Amino acid sequence: MSADEFYNESKSAIVPMGFCYPEVDAKGGEKLPHHEYASEWQPPLLAALPNVKLSLLIGQYEQLRYLAKSREKTLADTGRHWRNYVWVQKNP
């Protein structure tokens, strides 16, 4: 996928987990997004995008939500073992 295709909003979407500004903890790091936000808006949004062919779970929070217990101990390890997390959805 070229850069032009990636940034073409009719071909790709960058979707956040919570659609909210993340809270910050005492050390200045982001707190985990409120799961109820993602649970509420992600199903209807994904239903409105029926032609999704590739989803990249880039961050820790995305991997926690969608990979749950099947992920590796760290974000880096999950990235290194990405082949374990590839699902192919065949068109009916």
Distance set, CA 90 to CA 14, 52, 65 (Å): 23, 12, 23
Express each pLDDT in 67-79 by its tens digit: 877 788 888 888 8
Express each pLDDT in 30-70 by its tens digit: 777 666 777 788 888 888 888 888 888 887 778 887 887 77
Predicted confidence band of residue 92 (pLDDT cuts 50, 70, 90): very low
pTM of the predicted protein model: 0.62
